[in-house]
Amino acid sequence: MQDKGQRKSVDLFLFLSKTENMNGIENILRAASFAAKKHTDQKRKGNDGEPYINHPLEVANMLVNIGGVDDPDIIMAALLHDTVEDTEVTFDEIAEQFGLTVAGYVREVTDDKSLPKAERKQKQVEHAPHLSQGAKQIKLGDKISNIRDVTDNPPDGWDLQRRREYVDWGEKVVAGLRGANANLEKLFDETVEKARRRLAAAATQS
């Protein structure tokens, strides 16, 4: 039986098997390996302690198989998108290893953790319309993955109100990403609809 990490990565590797860009394949695999090593000791915040690497794998998988993204730089950046924010990796290291374009996408979707959390969240809303097309697609995948987790496997201590507030905030961010990828936007809307149904059902049972 496949675990979550295998399920989230398998379609990405099916994509790799079909592409004729061998250099792109090599670089995407390098990015996946790099991200896995940097996130080795990290877990998602959900109660099941899912390995953190499953999140960037899911985002990259969505971009490829739902969004139809075939630009290796965007796929690499999706795999690497949390490495600077959540590990000791620097933008210079990303640029040296994977190029300035990839580093630029990662920089666009990285929060400044020196700021208070509320300010960081507001800046995501404000900056969303001004992101590049590549960064917008990565951000869409990120929000879909996070709302799925908040719905199905929330962090310990998150009550229904906090989970609803996260979904509301995610919608505000994605409002500024519209027009970047219709298929990902459709999946986001479906994910929000499912989240609201699940949270409403949970509220009636509590």
- The mean pLDDT value for 98-127 works out to 97
Q: Per mean pLDDT, which range of 15-24, 47-56, 63-72, 93-102 is the poorest?
A: 15-24
pLDDT the model gives residue 18: 60
The structural domains of the chain, with segments of one domain joined by +, span 4-205
Whether pLDDT at 13 is above 70: no
pLDDT at 186 over 80: yes
Mean pLDDT score of the chain, rounded to an integer? 91
Give pTM, 2 decimals. 0.91
Identity at 68, one-letter amino acid code = G
Residues with catalytic function: 85-86
Q: What are the two backbone dihedrals, phi and then psi, of residue 69, each rounded to the nearest 5 degrees?
A: -75, 130
Q: What's the pLDDT tens digit per position in 126-159?
A: 999 999 999 999 999 999 999 999 999 999 899 9
Per CATH, the number for 4-205 is 1.10.3210.10
Given a cut of 70, whether residue 19 has pLDDT beyond it is: no
